[in-house]
Amino acid sequence: MPIIYDAALKTLSLHTQNTTYQMLIGDTGHLFHLYFGRRVDAASLAYRIIPSDRGFSPNPFEARYHREISLDTLPQEYPGANSGDFRVPALDLIGESGAVGTDLRYLRHEIRAGKYALSGLPAAFAEAGEAETLSVTLGDAATGLEVELLYGVFEAADMLTRAAIIRNTGTSAVTLDRVASLCLDIPFGKWELLHLHGRHCMERNAERVPLMRGIQTVSSRRGASSHHHNPFVAIVAPSATETRGECFGILPLYSGNHRTDIEVDQTDSVRVVSGINPDTFSWYLKPGDSFFAPEAALCFTDGGLGDLSIRLHRFIRRHIIRSPWKDRRRPVLINSWEAMLFDFDSERLLRFAKQASALGVGMMVLDDGWFGARNSDLEGLGDWTPNAAKLPGGLRPLSDAVHALGMKFGLWIEPEMVNELSALYAAHPDWALTVPGRNPAFGRNQLVLDMGRGEVVEHLFTVFSALLRDGGIDYIKWDMNRNMTDVYSCALPPERQREASHRYMLGVYDLLDRLTTAFPEVLFEGCAGGGGRFDAGMLYYTPQIWCSDDTDAIERIAIQQGTSVAYPVSAMGAHVSVCPNQQTGRSVPFGVRGIVAMSGTFGYELDPAQLTEDERQMIRVQIDRFHRWYDVIQCGDCHRLTELEDPGDFTAWEFVTPDKSRALLNVVTVHTRANHPGAHVRLRGLDPMGMYRIDEVCCEGCVNPSMDAPLDGAALEGRVLSGASLMYAGFTLPPLMGDYPGAQVSFVRVGPDGGIL
Ligand code: DGJ
């Protein structure tokens, strides 16, 4: 039974295959948190929390003669403010009287089959029998509010989800100032924070820091989950490595302003509070109204960061991404952006498509510049009719011609934005977010549409559904190229202005929901100037997201490895582009660019006409390899074989099919050194008793100083090694020379007769 209520002990326990989460309904009605960690089937773990009297830590009214009972020191499930806990609250509000805070007490609970859903918000889902829901309702007597805490228990997936619904069952309005998705108190132990930070063209680099006493925060106020601070965080034991150690993962399903506070309190207990960023939020809740806090997924493992990542990847692929494309083979694409920016017409595009098709590319994506007066980023956003000079006759003749080549046709859009120079802005200046009386800040010459307004979403739905109906479009790249400033909605009264950022996100989700539901066959890719909105909320609607505008393969290794801490490879948009690279000026061998890009949703961002015949031939070879290894890469588990923050001279990662029958090792040297012993790695995820044949060795780099002797793959191919040898004794590649050499080695499990199993 995944959810157990013990009426005598007043405990509620959530069990997944390998973890237990337990809470206690206290004598005062407060809901205390007892434990989250490796599975223990004890009915009560209350013994591990020893209440003790601490000065300046107040006692609830009913326990005022028990000075050891304090909300300030006991671990809690969903702490309020101004009622005895001075740590970061999960819920904060101000009532009509001006009274601040809440004192939440248990009212009732319910255990339900299946997974709860959240109206208007992305939320993990489950098939029958895959999940159960625990709903615990707390009440605040002073305001009459009810807070429903929701727990989704995915037993086999070893994951929990949490969300909260605030219902105003009182008689007067309240203003919610903070509504967290979850609070997780970790009362014992020493911990570090692993977070994914960055900037435009350098998203999601992993950083691990010791927790200091006090509060540290991971947050965005940019109106998007951001390039700068991804909402995912992990709390990890200092000794945790890729293969062992305790780790908690917290994965918000939210794409707007988020904040996770991690507080180390007076007793070194760690509190994690995650949800909508309260800095830019409030919500006016009238009697009878409800507010839904976005969901966050939660997991624990003592198997190290690698195990944490694999759990999250599987969960995202199975329970968060809802597009039918998640299980379909996605085409290798070529995108026009780095190849031609705004400078194209249908003739050039068709040439581009023909050349790409001859190399085996399956889809042509027409990026920015196809609509309105869009010849630069100065104008046109908002006017979603094809530019007649570039595309005479519109999109259809082009998409028909591309389809006739046997390719799919994809299109770039940026629905949430408008240029000042556009017909849309001329007709509806009030649809853009601007503060009355103040000139707005611009970003990439554009303003942000007020997506919180129903008529804006309605207009965009009409425009884009017509385009999708008539344009012969198989794929959409949904971009967002600036962050939000001047957040003020003409449609909201003064007391609701701080709702605008969250209403914006609800509008974006609404539009995504309507378009993806109306056009389930269309493959959607998210994008925000690269990976500025790469989060689990967006993945609910778009099965893949463009990882970064930095296509330099060496930079991409750090970006994609960091991204892989939480997000699966099948979600990472990654393309081969030309060298010297447009973002860094660095040159990396074509083959290595392929190794890195095919560790994602593979594609190209270049003009085949500008390549040498050798390079064109390499494209054919890469596409052929990607197709042959598709299931291993896209449906397998991804293991990071080198440490995230300090990989050393080379970075290595491996894909293994769920049945352990095939594996693919990838190695890229980022720092070539003289006299090197060669890249030695221990593979993971194989069957130790199984025998694996080295099937194919593809090498980019040389083994001698005159740079004329590529690694002799044939000498390695065909060799049979046991899974135990490969995992415990390891595998060594000869030292490779040159700039950024790399290799791919594929393994296949064979039977005693050498045949593939
Ligand atoms: C930012 C995206 O990340 C790029 O790939 C490209 O689509 C440009 N926007 C187009 O404006």
Q: In this structure, what CATH number is given to the domain that contains residue 281?
A: 2.70.98.60
Cα–Cα distance between 445 and 368 in angstroms, integer? Answer: 14
Is there a contact between 531 and 203 (Cβ–Cβ < 8 Å)? yes
Cα–Cα distance between 496 and 282 in angstroms, integer? Answer: 7
SS3 assignment, position 407? coil
Mutation choice for ligand 1 from 202, 340, 343, 367, CB with most ligand atoms inside 8 A: 367
Question: 708 and 584: one domain?
Answer: no
Point out which residues pair with 507 in neighbouring strands: none
CATH of the domain at 686: 2.60.40.1180
Mutation choice for ligand 1 from 227, 333, 335, 337, CB with most ligand atoms inside 8 A: 337
Domain boundary among 637, 655, 677: 637
Tokens 């997924």 sit on residue: 297
Is there a contact between 291 and 172 (Cβ–Cβ < 8 Å)? no
Domain boundary among 296, 320, 344: 320
Domain boundary among 637, 659, 685: 637
Centre of ligand 1 to C-alpha 201, Å, is 11
Is the shortest distance between the CB of 16 and ligand 1 below 6 Å?
no
CATH of the domain at 335: 3.20.20.70
Is the shortest distance between the CB of 203 and ligand 1 below 6 Å?
no
Res 234: pLDDT: 98
Q: Which residues contact 326 (CB under 8 A, 6 or more apart)?
A: 317, 543, 570
Question: Which residue in 130, 268, 279, 615 is the catalytic one?
Answer: 615
Q: Which residues contact 213 (CB under 8 A, 6 or more apart)?
A: 264, 265, 268
Is there a contact between 250 and 160 (Cβ–Cβ < 8 Å)? no
Question: 271 and 333: one domain?
Answer: no
Which of 104, 89, 569 lies closest to 314, judged by CA? Answer: 569
CB neighbourhood size of 456 (10 A): 24
Is the shortest distance between the CB of 577 and ligand 1 below 6 Å?
no
pLDDT < 70 positions in the chain = 704-710
Question: 243 and 372: one domain?
Answer: no
Q: Evaluate whether residue 755 is within a structural domain.
A: no
Is the shortest distance between the CB of 527 and ligand 1 below 6 Å?
yes
Atom of ligand 1 nearest to the CA of 528: 3
Question: 118 and 180: one domain?
Answer: yes
Helix ranges (H only) for 405-552 are 423-427, 454-470, 500-518, 536-541
Burial category of 714 from C-beta neighbours within 10 Å (exposed 0-12, middle 13-18, buried 19 and up): exposed
Question: 653 and 743: one domain?
Answer: yes
Which of 486, 327, 335 lies closest to 410, judged by CA? Answer: 335
Question: 431 and 308: one domain?
Answer: no
Q: Evaluate whether residue 757 is within a structural domain.
A: no
Nearest 5°: the CA angle 516, 522, 523 is 95
Is the shortest distance between the CB of 336 and ligand 1 below 6 Å?
no
SS3 assignment, position 401? helix
Question: Which residue in 535, 552, 654, 700 is the catalytic one?
Answer: 535
Question: 16 and 151: one domain?
Answer: yes
Is the shortest distance between the CB of 478 and ligand 1 below 6 Å?
no
Atom of ligand 1 nearest to the CA of 444: 11
Centre of ligand 1 to C-alpha 414, Å, is 9
Q: Is 103 tagged catalytic?
A: no
Question: 600 and 566: one domain?
Answer: yes
Is there a contact between 701 and 741 (Cβ–Cβ < 8 Å)? yes
Q: Evaluate whether residue 355 is within a structural domain.
A: yes
Mutation choice for ligand 1 from 336, 371, 412, CB with most ligand atoms inside 8 A: 412
Is there a contact between 556 and 593 (Cβ–Cβ < 8 Å)? no
Is there a contact between 175 and 495 (Cβ–Cβ < 8 Å)? yes
Question: 478 and 398: one domain?
Answer: yes
Is the shortest distance between the CB of 531 and ligand 1 below 6 Å?
no
Point out which residues pair with 666 in neighbouring strands: 653, 744
Is the shortest distance between the CB of 367 and ligand 1 below 6 Å?
yes
Question: 726 and 610: one domain?
Answer: no
Q: Is 654 tagged catalytic?
A: no
Is there a contact between 702 and 741 (Cβ–Cβ < 8 Å)? yes
Look at ligand 1, atom 9, and give the residue with the nearest C-alpha.
529
Res 757: pLDDT: 74
Question: 371 and 481: one domain?
Answer: yes
Instruction: Look at the alpha carbons of 429, 431, 436, 442 in this order and tell me if their dihedral is positive or negative.
Output: negative
Res 755: pLDDT: 81
Report the domain count for the chain.
3
Look at ligand 1, atom 4, and give the residue with the nearest C-alpha.
529
Centre of ligand 1 to C-alpha 655, Å, is 29
Point out which residues pair with 247 in neighbouring strands: 236, 301
Residue 75 preceded by cis peptide, ω within 30: no
Ramachandran region, residue 383 (left: φ > 0; alpha: ψ -120 to 50; beta: rest):
beta
Question: Tokens standing for 624?
Answer: 């052929």
In this prediction the pTM is 0.97
CB half-sphere exposure, 420, CA atoms < 13 A: 10
Question: 632 and 722: one domain?
Answer: no
Is the shortest distance between the CB of 549 and ligand 1 below 6 Å?
yes
Residue-number span of the structural domain to which 179 is assigned = 3-320
Q: Evaluate whether residue 310 is within a structural domain.
A: yes
Is the shortest distance between the CB of 370 and ligand 1 below 6 Å?
no
